[in-house]
Structure 1
Amino acid sequence: MALYPSLQGRRILITGGGRGFGREMALAFARQGALLLLTAARNGDELGQTVADANAIAPGCCIGELADVALEADCTRIASVARSRLGGIDILFNNAARSPAEAMTRFDRAAPTPFWEADAAGYERLIVTNIVGPFLMAQRLAPAMVQQGFGRIINMLTSGPTMTVSGRGPYGASKAALEASTAIWARDLAGSGVTVNGLLPGGASDTALIPGDNIGQRAVPGFRAGKNSGGGSEGTLAGLLPADIIVPPALWLAADESAAWTGRRFVAKDWDDALGWESAAAQSVTEMVDVPRIL
């Protein structure tokens, strides 16, 4: 795994940091010497375990807070905690998201739930968490980033095919909106020293977002990012990607080396860490268009 000296002491907020991609990133950033604030909306035990594991790597590097990014008051509180405990935030990973399973009555490829059978309350909850949540968190942190002349906002996106797949209800629509927001925020922040980029795994991944047993043991055996499939094949892999696939591009996006890249979209499964970051970034980047090309 690449080492980035600029991550030493960097202050990082990861929403949804207790499990899945959030946990993988938290442990990786702890190894890089970063300071971490993790949030989770529901499972305090998972959050506490990830915080403990990060602090076992680098004592005192990580704190955790239960908070729901869908609630404006919680986002305001987290920004306040960041200022009081860390002195602010340099990098925001908008990782927290709700699964389509929370809105759809069946999570079954063979018999997907049509949108008219969706749970309306679950549908609304997902939309607010996946779209409004990232906005609220970025709104509260971006002004200080602009003032200090440095910042990174990384929004967790999804593959193009996922945006329109039958039976997934509001999930794809929410991620399409977040992709558009990524492009807009990057333009709003142009020239400020704050970059905004999107990061996606490149396919369904072995996290709790995908219902089922044996989470963490369901990935395609021996999958190697950047080697098993070429660019342009996002969302088409048969089977699940390993959750730690997100780590190499996440480290780079938070580091100084990514300063020239903003308003872009990076596919983790196409990132080959062995190539060095220049070639890995070029291999994994896809264009962020004015209107996300989802149809």
Structure 2
Amino acid sequence: MRAVVTGGMSGIGAAAATRLRADGVEVLTLDVAHGADLVADVTDPQAVRRAADEAGRVDILVNSAGVVGPNAPLWEIPFAGWERTFAVNVHGTFHTCQAFLPPMIERGWGRIVNLASIAGKDGNPNMSPYSASKAAVIGLTKSLGKELATTGVLVNAIAPAVIATPMNADTEPEALAHITGLIPMKRPGRAEEVAELIAWLASDRVSFSTGAVYDISGGRATF
């Protein structure tokens, strides 16, 4: 069994790679960071397809690459910042699914886990590009799950609340404090906690779930 984890060199992606390896899965990290097994920018469809060719057979795809994007009121956000957030969070997921999915369908088995966010369901103030992009990931997952429902390939999304990862370094302290304060458990989650859910969704242990969104939010989720 072989998995590709995008954004696999840090944060949730790195934790997922470690956890999958503990299950005996061969993991290839796909990242722009030095040291990744597959060095590619998910915003570049040609680079992603080259990475797919280099990877060979892939049974599991974890789409963890993401950016927070600009922190500001909507009317102050530069369009370039909006575009960049969607390029990574949404277009990146689209590119990797297109590149890695067809062989899974041909073999009749596969697992795709997309990292969304509770922000995609609730919306975070002063984080409209991030919130909107993660809502798009949720919609993509629901649609794709229905398209693949009889193929043996399952696709699900995870919607974390604040997780203690390096990505939060790009979040304004006030915004970070606000969204952490919304968590009834009164703490950020840990990447290792999210990785446990990813490992289940990437396995044979899940068999009757596709196009679903799994919250891991310390109680923040309301629907």
Give me the TM-score of the superposition, normalised by structure 2.
Answer: 0.87
In structure 2, what is the equivalent of residue 243 of structure 1? Answer: 191
Distance verdict in 2 for CA 1:161–1:11, change over 3 Å: closer
Change (3 A) 1:121 1:161: closer
- 2: CA distance, partners of 1:199 / 1:128: 19
Partner-residue secondary structure (3-state), 1:210: helix
Question: What residue in structure 1 maps to residue 27 of structure 2?
Answer: 36
Once superposed, which parts of structure 1, at least 4 consecutive aligned residues long, lie more than 6 Å away? none
Unaligned runs of 5+ in 2: 171-181
Corresponding residue of 2:78: 119
Q: Tell me which residue corresponds to 2:15.
A: 24
Deviation per residue, 1:176-224 (Å, 9 max, x gap): 01101101001111100001101122x1010112127xxxxxxxxxxxx
Structure 1 residue 116: Cα displacement? 2.1
Structure 2 matches for 1:68-79, cutoff 5 A? 68-79=41-52
In structure 1, what is the Cα distance between the partners aligned to 2:215 and 2:140? 18
What is the identity, as a one-letter code, of the residue corresponding to 2:68?
S
Q: Deviations over 1:216-249 (max 9, x none)?
A: xxxxxxxxxxxxxxxxxx8555332112111221
Question: In structure 1, how many angstroms separate the alpha carbons of the residues matched to 2:209 and 2:124?
Answer: 30
| Aligned-partner SS, 1:258 | coil
Q: Residue 169 of structure 2 aligns to a residue in which SS?
A: coil
Kept in 1, the 8 Å contact 2:162–2:217? The answer is no
Summarize deviations over 1:26-85 as a string: whole Å, max 9, x none.
Answer: 1111122111110112x31xxx3xx6xxxxxxxxxxxx12211011111111111111xx
Q: Does the Cα contact within 8 Å between 2:73 and 2:126 map onto a contact in 1?
A: yes
- Structure 1 length-normalised TM: 0.67
The Cα offsets for residues 116-136 of structure 1, whole Å up to 9 and x where unpaired, read as 222322221111111111011
Q: Tell me the C-alpha RMSD between the 2 structures.
A: 2.4
SS of the residue 2:166 aligns to? coil
Q: Which residue does the alignment assign to 1:190? A: 149
1:163 touches 1:176 (CA, 8 Å); kept in 2?
Answer: no
CA contact (8 A) 1:11 1:90 kept: yes
Among 202, 210, 218, the alignment partner of 2:168 is: 210
Does 2:102 align with 1:129? no
Structure 1, gaps ≥5 residues long: 1-9, 52-63, 105-112, 213-233, 271-285, 288-292
> What secondary structure is seen at the aligned counterpart in 2 of 1:171?
helix
SS of 1:137's partner is helix
AA of the residue aligned to 1:259? S
Query: Does the aligned pair in 2 maintain the 1:159–1:235 contact within 8 Å?
Result: no
Q: Which has the higher contact order (CA 8 A, sep 6+)?
A: 2
